[in-house]
Structure 1
Amino acid sequence: MNVKSFPYRLYLVISEEACPHYDFIKVAEEAIKGGVDIIQLREKKDASSQFLKKAVELKKVLDRYQIPLIINDNLEVAIKSGAAGIHVGNTDLTPTEIRKQWPQCEILGYSIEYLEQLYNEQTYSSDYLGISPVYNTDTKTNTVTTWGIDGVQSICSKTEKPLVAIGNMKASNAKKVVEAGADCIAVVSAICSDSNPLKAAQLLKQEIDQGINNRAATHKI
């Protein structure tokens, strides 16, 4: 994927466990109607067979809306489900190895937890970088760096790769994180835990779009 061809702005990371109000498939579809552009299925506790079953079910819905499916960590599930891509972290199969085993991968994401990673071959092999986490979150506790706004700005100044910010992201902070340089905002509970996923997605998308507009206006000055 070309650096400039990452058109996604609102990225939903979903799991069955993260959705207390509705079935995760319903949450995904409502979120898409509200403005989600890309969805990652993250099922850390499932066996591959169960993970695959969910991925196939989710992809049927996503295909109707032409929304890409990303699989968290599991290359077997990503390939067998026909997903568009995969997202990995520092303790998972490396992006370079994924490229060898799955040359058809369209979207390969890689989480950045310290600045030195910006200069390794795993980053060069990736299509986008996950800034993980921007803020502390209960969803992911085994993290190295909490980036904050300064961290987002620092990464943005050092790479041309599209940047996806995740970690306690919500409507109240999405705009300033985009203004700091993130290209896309990834959320879990801000949509999955909301009793109205469609409206939650709409509000997030509005804040992201405003942040993008503000950043563009600033760069023109």
Structure 2
Amino acid sequence: MIDTTQYRLYLVTDDRQDDATIVDVVSQAVTAGVTMVQVREKHGDVRAFINRAQLVKQVLSGSNVPLIINDRVDVALAVDADGVHLGQSDMPAEFARQLLGPDKIVGLTVESMAQLQQAQSLPVDYLGISSVFATTTKTDICHQWGLKGLLSAMAESQLPLVAIGGIDLSNTKQVMATGIAGIAVVSAICQQEDVVLATRAFCQLLKL
């Protein structure tokens, strides 16, 4: 059973950055206090994805920070990652769980209340609530939850919730006040001039 505090400050890599930059960002962010890292690669090159995941895994070695792979169960298996995060159009959670086994982390993005309710019976460990606010890193937003939506999601879910989308230092306190398990950020850490400073500022707000 995962310690839910590991969802608290969940870094998602920016697939617009090259491997060297991602490794540098993850290394600095982990040193400064992020609690989970998801490697994302949206361009469909599986070999590049595996290579990137292996590089990040090396950075995370010995840190106790879980490595999560976005979308691709095959990549998660290939690098023996700690888990996978699935979207609504990816492999069904039931199959992912069968392939990964009972000890790996399986997360699922939900973009509506109906999806959240359906997910309660799935073999997943947490749900990603997307998108909370407007964001430049995700352009195919189906639904913007907002703070009221997060509160409604909390009331409906027995699973830990991680909020993603447009979350930064200015709204983190409001988001966490809904009672969710954690926040996932991309550009609020990855695109900052001082990654360590940005990460530490989040840690301070999150009392990490």
Normalised to the residue count of structure 2, the TM-score between the two structures is 0.93
Give the CA deviation at 1:99.
1.1
Give the CA deviation at 1:18.
4.2
Residues 110 and 126 in structure 1, CA contact (< 8 A), matched pair in contact too: yes
* 1:96 is aligned to 2:86: no
Point out where structure 2 has 5 or more consecutive residues left out of the alignment: none
Change (3 A) 1:123 1:117: farther
Residues 18 and 188 in structure 1, CA contact (< 8 A), matched pair in contact too: no
Give the CA deviation at 1:15.
3.2
| 1:110-189 aligned within 5 A | 110-120=108-118, 124-189=122-187
Residues 112 and 131 in structure 1, CA contact (< 8 A), matched pair in contact too: yes
Give the CA deviation at 1:35.
1.2
Residues 14 and 188 in structure 1, CA contact (< 8 A), matched pair in contact too: yes
Point out where structure 1 has 5 or more consecutive residues left out of the alignment: 211-221
1:62 aligned to 60, 83, 94, which one?
60
> Counterparts of 2:172 and 2:17 in 1: how far apart (Å)?
20
Describe the superposition over 1:10-58 as per-residue Cα deviations: whole angstroms up to 9, x where unpaired: 00000342479x7110110100111100000001114111100111111
Query: What secondary structure is seen at the aligned counterpart in 1 of 2:94?
Result: helix
> Counterparts of 1:118 and 1:94 in 2: how far apart (Å)?
14
Residues 120 and 158 in structure 2, CA contact (< 8 A), matched pair in contact too: no
Describe the superposition over 1:61-108 as per-residue Cα deviations: whole angstroms up to 9, x where unpaired: 101312110000011110011100000111111111101222155111
Matched residue type, 1:10 = L
Query: What secondary structure is seen at the aligned counterpart in 2 of 1:190?
Result: helix
Residues 15 and 42 in structure 2, CA contact (< 8 A), matched pair in contact too: no
Residues 130 and 164 in structure 1, CA contact (< 8 A), matched pair in contact too: yes
Q: Which structure has greater helix proportion?
A: 1
Change (3 A) 1:19 1:147: farther
Aligned length: 207
- Identity percentage over the alignment? 36
* 1:11 is aligned to 2:37: no
Matched residue type, 2:128 = G
Matched residue type, 2:139 = T
> Counterparts of 2:127 and 2:27 in 1: how far apart (Å)?
25
